[in-house]
Amino acid sequence: MNTGELVELGQQLRVDSVRAAAAAGSGHPTSSMSAADLMAVLFARHLRYDFDHPDHPGNDRFILSKGHASPLMYAVYKAVGAIGDEELLTFRKNGSRLEGHPTPRRLPWVETATGSLGQGLPVGVGIALAGKRPESADHRVWVLCGDSELAEGSVWEAAEQAAYEHLDNLTAIVDVNRLGQRGPTRHGHDLDAYARRFQAFGWHTVEVDGHDVDAVDRAYGEALSTKGQPTAILARTLKGKGVEAVQDREGLHGKPLPEAEDAIAELGGPRDLRIRVQAPSGSGTSGAGAPPAGNTTALELPRWDKGEEVATRNAFGEALAALGAARGDVVALDGEVGDSTRAEFFAKEHPERYFECYIAEQQMVAAAVGMAARGWVPYASTFAAFLTRAHDFVRMASISGSGLNLVGSHAGVAIGQDGPSQMGLEDLAMMRAVHGSTVLYPCDANQTARLVAAMAGLDGIRYLRTSRGESPVIYGPDEEFPVGGSKVLRSSGRDRLTLVAAGVTVPEALAAADALEGEGIAVRVIDLYSVKPVDRDTLRTAAEETGCLVTVEDHHPEGGLGDAVLDAFADGRPVPRLVRLAVRNMPGSASPDEQLHAAGIDAESIAAAGRLLVGEAIVS
Amino acid sequence: MNTGELVELGQQLRVDSVRAAAAAGSGHPTSSMSAADLMAVLFARHLRYDFDHPDHPGNDRFILSKGHASPLMYAVYKAVGAIGDEELLTFRKNGSRLEGHPTPRRLPWVETATGSLGQGLPVGVGIALAGKRPESADHRVWVLCGDSELAEGSVWEAAEQAAYEHLDNLTAIVDVNRLGQRGPTRHGHDLDAYARRFQAFGWHTVEVDGHDVDAVDRAYGEALSTKGQPTAILARTLKGKGVEAVQDREGLHGKPLPEAEDAIAELGGPRDLRIRVQAPSGSGTSGAGAPPAGNTTALELPRWDKGEEVATRNAFGEALAALGAARGDVVALDGEVGDSTRAEFFAKEHPERYFECYIAEQQMVAAAVGMAARGWVPYASTFAAFLTRAHDFVRMASISGSGLNLVGSHAGVAIGQDGPSQMGLEDLAMMRAVHGSTVLYPCDANQTARLVAAMAGLDGIRYLRTSRGESPVIYGPDEEFPVGGSKVLRSSGRDRLTLVAAGVTVPEALAAADALEGEGIAVRVIDLYSVKPVDRDTLRTAAEETGCLVTVEDHHPEGGLGDAVLDAFADGRPVPRLVRLAVRNMPGSASPDEQLHAAGIDAESIAAAGRLLVGEAIVS
C-alpha cells in the first residue's frame, strides 16, 4: 500500500471502530481511533503473519496491550479478511467471539488476554525471549501499548528484562494519546519523558507523529534494523482522531461516539480496503522455531527410599531437572531465588532453557505466559508468598486459557525463623480461586516428583506448593498420585474420626493418629495432596464411615484445605461435623516446631481437636 | 561524631550484626555489613528522631526496605540505646521482638513491615506524600533499599509518583553491594545504570563509595539541599564488607558467618559506641504535621429512599465525600479510575486530601500504608479485579497491622459487556484470606453508606466490594448495619430453606423467594453483607430452623460467600445441607442479566436450586 492507501486504511479502521461500538452501545472507539494509523501501517507493511495458520511458527506476534481498543483490533481482523462485517457488528454481544477485551480462548489470532493494563509488554517479552533463546527463530513481536499503562511497574520489569536479554526482535509501539480514563496522563504529549525512561533501561527509541503514516513506516523500519536492543516507538496521537466532536477531548473514554452516523460521515464513510499481510518466513505449520512436542526421551524421575528425610522443594528441583531431560519443551523461570526453590537444579542441567527473571515476579509469570503461548511448557517458581505479587497476571493467564506451572516454595509457618513476610499463608486461597486451576500440595519427595511430572499434561493454571524443611519419605517411588485423588494412610472399620491433612501437616496428622489410637480412638488419615480438584468420593466415604472430620493446614483458615474439603459436600448431601485447624495467629520468628505448635496445627493440637470432636464437644 | 568515630561505629554495627546472626544461627549478616557505614552516618549525623517518642509528628522516618538486613537495624537500635545487648541476642528467637524481618506490630520504631522486596520505597513515598500535602510538615523520609530489589516494578511506580509529586523530603539510599541471593545482580557495581533510571524518572542522583563515611555524609547533605525532586544515593558497597572470608563473595546470602569469632576479631572486636540521634523539629507528641483525630464535624451521610435505583459504587463515592467532610483525617487514593469507582466525588470536595495514583495499584496501596503509618485514615479504590495487582502489598500491610480501607468496584459478572478481565471474581477469596481482615459487600445504597463510615473505625485491612450497575434501595436510611452482622430479609416459622446472598445476588434471592413462596415453599433470605466476620448466630439459627441453605454469590466458588457461610459451622457442630451457587463458567461479553443467568446465580437459578434442595434431591 502507498501513502494514500494507508491513510485511507487508517480511516477505514476508525470508521469500523465507531460502527462496532455503536452497534454494541459500549466500548472504546476513541482509544481505537488514536492508534488506527499505527495499526494500518503495521499490518499492511511490516507484520508477517498467516491468518489461516495462526500457529505457524514463523508468524510474527502482535499483542494489543491496550486491550480496551478491541474495536480497532476487530476492524483490523476485518481488513485482513479474518472476520466479516457482519461478525464485526456482533461486538460485545452475548455469544460473540468479539469480546470487550480480546481473548485467545475465543480468537486464534490473539496471543494473550489483555484488559488489565501493563500486561501486554511483559507477555511480549516472554514470546520474544522464547524466540531468541530456545527457538532461535526470526519472528518478531510487536506490542501496542497505551501511554496510561506505562505507570504500571510491570512495564518496567518488562523493559528491564527485554534490554538485558537484548531482545531486538521486540518492538513496543506506544500510542501516546495524552488522555487516560479520567483525564490527562502524568506526561501528556511529552514523548521525551517516555523516551528517557526507555533509554535509561537500555532501549532504542523513536519519536514519531503517530498520524503520519510515512513517518510511522520509517519508525518501524528503524525498529527492524536496530540490533542488540529492543525498540520503543513513541507515537504522538490524538484520542478520537478524525472526529472533531471527540478528538483530544476529556470525558469520552470508553463511550460510543455520541453521533455515530455524523462521525462516520466526517471520517469519509465506510470503505472496504483489504490488507494483504506479508507471509511469515519459513513454510508449513511446524519446523523452525517450534518447541519439540512431548517426551523426547523416557522420563526417569528421581527416586527416594521410604524413611529418608527430603525437602519437597528439593524433590521439585530434581524432578524438574529430570523432566527437562525427558521433554525438550519444558522451560523454567525463577525470581532470583532458584537456590531456595531448587529451580537451580534445572538451571545447571538445562541452562539454555532456564530464565533468570531476577526479583520481578510479575515479569516472571508474564514471560511464562508468553512462552506457553508459543507452545513451551513453563515452570515458574518463587516463594509461595511472593507469587501474590503476580496475582493479577495469574488471573489474566487463566482468562487466556494459558497452561502454566507455578511452584511456590517456603509455604506456611513451617519455614520457621524468617517470619511472616516469607510465609505463604494465602497461596492456596489465591490459587484455588483461579478459574479452572489445579492446586497440588505434596507431603513427600516421591509424591512431589510424580506431581511435578503430572502437572505438565494438565490444562490451565497448575500450582504446586512445596516446603522448606525436610520431611520423611512415606511413599515408595512407584506409588502413583493421580491429580484429583488422595491417599488414605490409615483406615479401619472402627474409625470414629477422619483427619485430613496435606504437606507438612501429614506427618503431624499421622503422629496424632498414633496418639489417639493409643487411647483407643481409631482414626482415618487422608493425605489430600490434590487440593483442587478434590477427591470428593474418598472424603464422602470417610464422612459416611467416620462421621466427623478434622482438617489441618499450614495456611490461613480461609480458602485453603478446609474449604476444599467442604467443596465435596456443597451439593445438598449431608455434611459431616468438622473442626478446621489452620493458622489463625500472626506468626513471629520461631523454630518450625514452635511455629506449628503456636498455630495449633501440630500433632498435639490435632489430637486435642480429635478428642473433643469424637466426644461431641463444641470446640470454640 | 567525627570521621574516625563514624568508621568505628560502622564496625560496631557489623560486629553486632555478626553476633546477632551467630546467636540466632540464621539471618543475613553479609547484607547487613554492606550497609553498616550508610546507617552509621545516617543515624549519627542526619536522621532526626526521638526514640522515646516514636509517634512524634516531627520525627523523620526511616524504612529498611531490604528487611532481611534486620541484624543491622537491630544493631542500630542498640547503638541508639533503644534496646540492650541482651535483647539483641534474642534475634529470631521465639517470643523476641527482633524478628527475621522487622515489623511495626512488635517494634514501635518500624514504619512498615518489610521482607517482601520492593515495598519500602513505595511506602516511603506514601509517608513523604502525606508530609508534603495534608501535613505540610518538615519531616524527612529515608529509605534504605537493596540493589536487587530495584528489579521490582513497584520501585518504579514509586519513583514515578515521587518525582511527579516533587517529594524532596524523600531520600532513597541504595546499597549497591552487587550480589543478590543466588548470585550477581543484573548491573553489578554499575552505579550509572541505576542513576540513569532514577534520573529518567526525574530524581536527583548521587553516586558514592558507600564505605567512605565522609563521602556518604556529603551525599546525605546533598540530598537535604536538593529542592523540588527526590534524591537517590547510589552507594557502591561490598557484601560482607570487612571480613575477608565473606567479603564480596557469592553463596553467602542469608547465612551466619562461618567463623563468627574470627570475623568479630577481624572487625576489631565488640565496641560500645552510643549514637546521639538528633531531636526532631517541633516539640511534644502532637501538633504540626499530625492528622486531626476523629470527627471534626457531625457526620451527615447521604440518604436514599426505598425503591430508588442507585449503584453501590455511587453510594460509596457520596458517603466517602461526606465522611471526608466530617473527618479531617480521611484521605482517598485511586488508580486513575475515580470516575468509575466514584472516588471522584471525594476528589471534588476534598482535593487537598485526594491522591491520584494513576494506573499503579501497588503504589496506590503502598501509599495508603504510608499514610496510615502517619495516622491518616486512607481509602484506596480501583476495580476489584485490579486489586489483585496489589495482593502482596495487602498481605504485607496486614503483617504491619496497618489500618487500610480498600474499595473494589465493578465486582463480578454483573458488570456485563466488558468481559472477564474487568470482573472481580476472586477478590473475596483474596481479602478473606488476609489475616485479621474485614470483608463487606453491600447490596444497596444506604447500607453502603453506613459501611463506608463504619470501616474507618476498624482495625486491620477492611475491604468493601461495590457494584457497577444500579440496584434497588431496600433499606431505609436509618437502618443500622453492624460489622459482623447480617439482615434477615424474609422469615417465617414455616421456612424450609434459607437463601444466603450478598450484593447483587440479594435482589435475585428475594425474587427467587417470591417465586418459591408462590409455590408454597416458605424461604428465609439472609443478606450477608458482612462476609468477614460472618454472623454465625444468625446462620446457625437459620440452619437449625430451616434445615438447609443455598448460598449464592457473584464470585468464583472458592473462598467467597459460600466458604464464609461454612465458617459458621467449622467447630464441630452439625452442618446444614447446602448448595453453593457461584460463577463456575468463564464469562464472555453479555448484558448483566445475561451474565447472571449464564453463571447460574440469577433468581431463576436460585429458585431451581431451592426446589431441588427442599425435595432433598442431590444437585450435581
Indicate the pTM of the whole model. Answer: 0.97
Residue A235 to residues A61, B58, B143, Cα–Cα distance (Å): 20, 46, 36
Q: State residue B285's pLDDT score.
A: 45
Helices (H), A299-404: 312-326, 338-341, 344-349, 361-373, 391-400
Fold matches, B3-267 and B487-619: yes
Average pLDDT, chain A: 96
- Candidate from B113, B559, B616 with C-beta closest to A563: B559
**Which grid cell is B317?**
463515592
Q: Cβ contacts (< 8 Å) between A497 and chain B: which residues?
A: none
Q: State residue B288's pLDDT score.
A: 56
Q: Cβ contacts (< 8 Å) between B92 and chain A: which residues?
A: 417, 589
A135, A149, A152, A361: which one is catalytic?
Answer: A361
Q: State residue A289's pLDDT score.
A: 67
- Upstream peptide bond of B102 is cis (omega within 30 degrees of 0): no
- Candidate from B96, B388, B559 with C-beta closest to A429: B559
Alpha-carbon distance of B533 to A456, in angstroms, equals: 39
B135, B149, B361, B553: which one is catalytic?
Answer: B361
Helices (H), A374-444: 391-400, 427-432
User: Residue A295: which pLDDT band, with cuts at 50, 70 and 90?
Assistant: low
Is B556 in Cβ contact with A433 (below 8 Å)? yes
Low-confidence ranges of chain B (pLDDT < 70): 283-289, 293-295, 616-620
Alpha-carbon distance of A25 to A12, in angstroms, equals: 20
Residue A525 Cα to chain centre, angstroms:
34
Is B425 in Cβ contact with A589 (below 8 Å)? no
Distance (Å) from the alpha carbon of B284 to chain A's nearest alpha carbon: 32
Q: Cβ contacts (< 8 Å) between B558 and chain A: which residues?
A: 429, 432-433, 532, 559, 563-564, 567
pLDDT in tens, A426-473: 999 999 999 999 999 999 999 999 999 999 999 999 999 999 999 999
> Is CATH 3.90.1210.10 what the domain over A487-619 is classified as, yes or no?
no
Is B579 in Cβ contact with A571 (below 8 Å)? yes
- Candidate from B180, B586, B590 with C-beta closest to A336: B180
Strand duo B548-552 + B170-176: pairing = unpaired
Is A570 in Cβ contact with B578 (below 8 Å)? yes
Side-chain-side CA neighbours of residue A162 (13 Å) = 36
- Candidate from A27, A149, A560 with C-beta closest to B359: A149
CATH number of B3-267: 3.40.50.970
Distance (Å) from the alpha carbon of A548 to chain B's nearest alpha carbon: 8
Distance (Å) from the alpha carbon of A103 to chain B's nearest alpha carbon: 9
Nearest CA in chain B to A419: B100
Determine the longest span between alpha carbons in chain B, in angstroms: 90
Query: How large is the average pLDDT for residues A208-223?
Result: 98
Distance (Å) from the alpha carbon of B222 to chain A's nearest alpha carbon: 23
Q: State residue A134's pLDDT score.
A: 87
Reported ipTM: the value is 0.97
Q: Cβ contacts (< 8 Å) between B563 and chain A: which residues?
A: 558-559, 563, 566
Q: Cβ contacts (< 8 Å) between A156 and chain B: which residues?
A: 153, 156
Alpha-carbon distance of B285 to B395, in angstroms, equals: 30
Is A429 in Cβ contact with B103 (below 8 Å)? no
* Cβ burial, residue A285 (10 Å; 0-12/13-18/19+): middle
Q: State residue B138's pLDDT score.
A: 87
Whether the Cβ atoms of residue B336 and residue A180 lie closer than 8 Å to each other: yes
Alpha-carbon distance of A405 to A418, in angstroms, equals: 26
Give yes or no for residue A491 having a pLDDT over 70: yes
Is A589 in Cβ contact with B96 (below 8 Å)? yes
Torsion of CA B484, B490, B493, B497, to 10 degrees: -80
A261 is catalytic: no
Is A421 in Cβ contact with B101 (below 8 Å)? yes
Q: State residue B233's pLDDT score.
A: 98
Q: State residue B620's pLDDT score.
A: 45
- Candidate from B339, B385, B576 with C-beta closest to A116: B385
- Candidate from A419, A532, A616 with C-beta closest to B99: A419
- Candidate from B118, B338, B566 with C-beta closest to A182: B338
pLDDT in tens, A180-196: 999 999 999 999 999 99
- Give me the residue spans of the domains in chain A: 3-267, 308-473, 487-619
Q: State residue B133's pLDDT score.
A: 86
Nearest CA in chain B to A202: B193
Region class of B21: left (phi > 0), else alpha (psi between -120 and 50), else beta: alpha
Is A101 in Cβ contact with B419 (below 8 Å)? yes
Is A396 in Cβ contact with B421 (below 8 Å)? yes
Distance (Å) from the alpha carbon of A463 to chain B's nearest alpha carbon: 15
Alpha-carbon distance of A9 to A5, in angstroms, equals: 6
**CATH superfamily for domain A308-473:** Thiamin diphosphate (ThDP)-binding fold, Pyr/PP domains (3.40.50.970)
Q: Cβ contacts (< 8 Å) between A420 and chain B: which residues?
A: 103, 113, 115, 399
Q: Cβ contacts (< 8 Å) between B191 and chain A: which residues?
A: none
Nearest CA in chain B to A99: B589
- Candidate from A180, A421, A558 with C-beta closest to B116: A421
Query: How large is the average pLDDT for residues A90-108?
Result: 96
Is B392 in Cβ contact with A421 (below 8 Å)? no
DSSP state letter for B356: E
Q: Which of A234, A359, A461, A565 to mutate to test the interface with B (most CBs of B within 10 A)?
A: A359
Q: Cβ contacts (< 8 Å) between B197 and chain A: which residues?
A: 197, 200-201
Q: Which of A491, A503, A168 is nearest to A312 (CA)?
A: A503
Q: Cβ contacts (< 8 Å) between A396 and chain B: which residues?
A: 421
Helices (H), A401-478: 427-432, 445-455
Q: Cβ contacts (< 8 Å) between A148 and chain B: which residues?
A: 336, 358-359
Distance (Å) from the alpha carbon of B110 to chain A's nearest alpha carbon: 14
Is A560 in Cβ contact with B563 (below 8 Å)? no
pLDDT in tens, A549-574: 999 999 999 999 999 999 999 988 89
3-state secondary structure A82-151: CCCHHHHCCCCCCCCCCCCCCCCCCCCCCCCCCCCCCCHHHHHHHHHHHHHCCCCCCCCEEEEEECHHHH
Distance (Å) from the alpha carbon of A118 to chain B's nearest alpha carbon: 9
Query: How large is the average pLDDT for residues A574-599?
Result: 96
Q: Cβ contacts (< 8 Å) between B429 and chain A: which residues?
A: 429-430, 432-433, 558-559
Is A571 in Cβ contact with B432 (below 8 Å)? no
Q: Which of A369, A306, A380 is nearest to A346 (CA)?
A: A380
Q: State residue B289's pLDDT score.
A: 67
